[in-house]
Amino acid sequence: MGDTYVECLVARKSSLLFNFLKILLIMLTAVFLFFGIVFGIVAGLIIGIAAGVGAYFAAMNSSIEYEYLYLEKEISVDKVMAKSRRKKAGTYSVEKMEIFAPLNSHRLDSYKNRNTKTLDFSSGIAAQPERRYMMVCNGGLNVILEPNEAMIKAVQSAAPRKVFTD
């Protein structure tokens, strides 16, 4: 059994907008529920409950991690929200991949002028040296990942002419 299995977890940079929205909605929930309970205002209770639901969804989207899994020449990406909910983001075949190179690599220059859809599953932080990689797929799709060294080596062993580390 020669299957290679590599797992990688990357935390997304926290958005200031979602953090602000989460705090604002929590405060609005407390205020409207207080006025609804103390003064018996039904509209205050309804608005407070709606703000509480909004605060829940803002909290879920303010803490996002991406989990990459490489198994049997496929990279699957899962979106983990608030370390409690998991959602499948996509599965990408290494055989259908055109190129896998660092985001600032000169090898991606001919692929950048295409009108393709780009999905970003990285931390969103530009580091030096660049740790984010772009995977260009045959179906007109660019996927930005931030894999670890073990995942890069696993993909490179499956498709050595398509993977570049410069």
So what's the pLDDT on residue 2?
A: 58
49-73 tens-digit pLDDT: 999 999 999 998 888 999 999 998 9
Strands laid side by side in the 85-93 sheet:
5-11, 64-71, 74-81, 85-93
Confidence of residue 129 (pLDDT cuts 50, 70, 90): confident
Alpha-carbon 37 to chain mean position:
40
Helix (H, G, I), strand (E, B) or coil at 127: coil
| Residue 101: burial class (beta carbons within 10 Å; 0-12, 13-18, 19+) | buried
- Overall pTM > 0.75: yes
Strands 64-71 and 85-93, bridge-based pairing = unpaired
Helix (H, G, I), strand (E, B) or coil at 27: helix
